[in-house]
Amino acid sequence: MSIKRSVSFYSYQEAYYKGDCTLEDMIRFTGETLKAEGVEILAEQTPVGRFPDPTDEDVDRWHSWMEKYNTKPSCLDSFIDWYLYKNRTLTLKEQVKQMERDIRLARRLGFPVIRVLCPVRKEVVEASIPIAEYCGVKMGLEVHSPMKLSARWITEYMDMVVKSGSKYAGIIPDFGIFMMRPAKKQLDKARAGGARDEVLSQIISWCESHIPFAEMVANANALGVNDAEMSVVQSFARNVFTDPEELRAFAPYISHCHGKFYDMDENCRETSIDYENPIRVLREIGYEGYISSEFEGQRLYGVDEVCDEFEQVRRHQAMLKRLVEN
């Protein structure tokens, strides 16, 4: 077996919000056009029926779409509503209750994995292991920039996972942690705002050298950058590079992967994130789960520009197919 391809419908957030596509449209595009197998949805953003309690008819329709378009549920993105109440945050018990709600929903819809947001406390996941094991649904804590695989938060979480001995708690690496440089689309936007090519080249070299952000800002100030150039520097405030080789230590605990991307060029290559090395490592450690295309490049487009989310996902899937199958 090999790594499988999936699509997160978060990629189509703008089109879905505007009513330009339906849930079925996104499933159809995944199966018929992209020939990808996996479907990932956000439990609240692209709900099946009425979240969190779809009717039996809603669930049956969902499963009929999976069969019709030759797709499979890959991951259900879960959220904990810490600030549900105005005067307090949720108690641990209430957070576990919400986790149980999403795990049970995942089972009804056939999802083998739920994505747990990175800030969720390890105690919530630990307390949810019994229901996850009962339902046969794995929980994957998302490792998302600016968090690194080597961060203390992840180390302490993994200590709990290993101690539990459960196969139903693990991690979901987000490929944003492998970001190397600003996206081409971002650089083009900066140039339009007055950024100079020679300064942008210097900024790119700082990013690719993975120097600390504070040092990057100090260098930029010493160089006398303008506002457009500083905006590129500031965009790296939350980007902390992780060496793909670090994935090896987590091999048994990777339940799913988020293929974050911002800008696919006409040659179907991501212009800012290293994909070749992380996928090489995943293949070498025998990972056979999904990598789910997750487009977030909408933020790089101006209000008068058209962002073709479906074309960006098509290009990303072409890249994934090349990297996982060759």
pLDDT in tens, 184-238: 999 999 999 999 999 999 999 999 999 999 999 999 999 999 999 999 999 988 8
Local confidence band at 269 (pLDDT 50, 70, 90 cut-offs) = very high
Q: What is the pTM of this model?
A: 0.95
For residue 38, give the 3-state DSSP assignment: strand
pLDDT confidence of residue 1: 63
Regarding whether 193 and 157 lie in a shared domain, the answer is no
Chain position carrying tokens 């199958």 = 325
Regarding whether 312 and 167 lie in a shared domain, the answer is yes
* pLDDT single digits (tens) 12-48: 999 999 999 999 999 999 999 999 999 999 989 999 9
Regarding whether 220 and 161 lie in a shared domain, the answer is no
Regarding whether 204 and 151 lie in a shared domain, the answer is no
Regarding whether 18 and 147 lie in a shared domain, the answer is yes
Pick the last residue of a domain from 214, 234, 254.
Answer: 234
CA 104 to chain centre: 22
Regarding whether 114 and 25 lie in a shared domain, the answer is yes
Identify the domain containing residue 192 by its residue range: 184-234
Regarding whether 283 and 141 lie in a shared domain, the answer is yes
Regarding whether 201 and 163 lie in a shared domain, the answer is no
Residues in CB range of 286: below 8 A, 6 or more apart: 251
pLDDT confidence of residue 238: 82
Percentage of residues of the chain with pLDDT beyond 70? 100
Q: Which of 106-110, 114-118, 297-301 has the lowest mean pLDDT?
A: 297-301
The count of structural domains within the chain is: 2
Residues in CB range of 197: below 8 A, 6 or more apart: 191
pLDDT confidence of residue 318: 98
Regarding whether 171 and 223 lie in a shared domain, the answer is no
H/E segment holding residue 113: strand 113-116
Pick the last residue of a domain from 193, 214, 234.
Answer: 234
Regarding whether 229 and 89 lie in a shared domain, the answer is no
Percentage of residues of the chain with pLDDT beyond 90? 93
Residues in CB range of 35: below 8 A, 6 or more apart: none
pLDDT confidence of residue 239: 83
> Measuring CA to CA, which residue among 61, 64, 101, 65 is closest to residue 81?
101
Regarding whether 126 and 194 lie in a shared domain, the answer is no
Regarding whether 32 and 97 lie in a shared domain, the answer is yes
Q: What is the CATH number of the domain that holds 292?
A: 3.20.20.150
Average model confidence (pLDDT) for the chain?
Answer: 96
CA distance 5 to 296: 18
